[in-house]
Amino acid sequence: MFGLSKTTKVFCVFFLVLMLVALGNDLYIWQKEGAAFYFADIGGIFKNYAPDQFRDVIAFLGADNFNLFLGPVLSQPATLVFLGLFVFSFATGFLLARYGPQSFRTGGKDTFAKAKKGEFLGYKDRVKYKRQ
């Protein structure tokens, strides 16, 4: 798949599954309530499905720090966040596969094929040093 590494594929599948779960949650709420469709924010999902852990995080950080650092993050729609993380991980993996350090590596099959044909000489074959 586009020459992506295994790590990139794992992250892409992970974020894609999370995005589909969040979208499924949004569709479920839309059908259950019958109201207008909207994307649920991460904080709302966290507060609804794990209220004890939500209160523990607030107690650990304090209300001021929670609102300052996590408030903006948790107010984002979960589906769009996971879609963005999927696109970011795919793009990063694709660019590293295409233009990363491995793509500029010398050697490999071409070098060995040239050496067998005699077209490529190694350092020892090109430099003739005679001791005096």
**Would you state the pLDDT for residue 132?**
66
| Inside any domain, residue 13 | yes
| Inside any domain, residue 101 | yes
| Inside any domain, residue 97 | yes
For helices 42-49 and 51-61, the axis angle rounded to 10 degrees is 110
| Inside any domain, residue 117 | yes
Rounded CA-CA distance 116/97 in Å is 29
**Would you state the pLDDT for residue 108?**
47
- Residues 68-87 pLDDT 10s: 999 999 999 999 999 999 99
Which stretch, 96-100, 119-123, 126-130, has highest mean pLDDT?
Answer: 96-100
Domain total for the chain? Answer: 1
Q: Which position has the token pair 């094929």?
A: 113
| Inside any domain, residue 104 | yes
**Would you state the pLDDT for residue 67?**
93
CB-based contact 75:41 (threshold 8 Å) = yes
Domain housing 90: 6-40+77-126
| Inside any domain, residue 113 | yes
pTM more than 0.75 = no
pLDDT interval class at 100 (50, 70, 90): confident
| Inside any domain, residue 94 | yes
More confident residue, 101 or 49: 49
| Inside any domain, residue 1 | no
- Residues 7-43 pLDDT 10s: 999 999 999 999 999 999 999 989 998 888 989 999 9
Angstrom distances, CA of residue 128 to CA of 98, 116, 120, 122, 125? 39, 20, 16, 12, 7
